[in-house]
Homo-oligomer: A and B are copies of this chain.
Amino acid sequence: MQIRKAQASDGPAILEIILPVIREGATYSLDPDLSAADALAYWTSPDKETFVTEGDNVIVGTYFIRPNQAGGGRHVCNCGYITRTDVAGRGVARGMCQHSLMYARERGYRAMQFNFVVSTNERAVRLWQSLGFAIVGRLPAAFRHPAHGYVDALVMYQSL
C-alpha cells in the first residue's frame, strides 16, 4: 500500500471511490446529488492537498488535508478519508489517517480536527479514537441520516 499525492490523471479513480459514498449520504455532509464534476472539484479544491492510496495496481482510497480555518486557526488541519467500499476493513483508512498525521506534523500543523463525524459511523469513531483522537464536542441531531433520521455528529480533535 503506497500513498502518494493525487495527480490530475487520478480523477476518474478518485470519483469511483468518493461518488458512491457521497450518493449514499450516510457519512459525509455533502449534497448526495452532487455532480461528478462538483464532487471532484470539492475533493481536490485548491485549499486542499489530496492523496491516493495505491493497492495492487488500483487506487483503493483517497484523502485530503487542508487548514481547518484561516488566520489564527490555520495551525489546525482537517482531513477527509474515503476507502473503496470493496476493500473496507483492511486497514486502508487507518493507513491514510496515520499518513495524514505524519504529514500534518511535517507541515507544521499543531492539531487535527474532524468537524463532523456522524455518530452512527461507529467504526470510524472507534478508528479515530484508536489513532489518538478525542471526542471534544457533540452536535445534537446535527445530521439527518438517510436510514436513522436525525442523529448526533461529533467533533474529534488531537494535538500533534
Contacts and interface: CB of A to CB of B under 8 A. Distances in A.
A72 B145 contact: yes
A contacts with B: majority SS: strand
Contacts of A139: 76, 111, 113, 136-137, 155, 157
A23 to B, nearest CB: 10
Given A111-B141, A141-B110, A70 B30 contact: yes
A70 B140 CA distance: 16
Size bracket, chain A contacts: 35 or more
A143 interface: yes
A116 interface: yes
21 contacts: A28-B71, A29-B69, A30-B71, A31-B70, A32-B71, A69-B116, A72-B143, A72-B144, A73-B142, A73-B143, A73-B144, A73-B153, A76-B142, A111-B142, A113-B142, A115-B115, A136-B137, A136-B138, A136-B139, A139-B155, A141-B159
Interface of A: 25-26, 28-32, 69-76, 110-111, 113, 115-116, 118, 136-146, 150, 153, 155, 157, 159
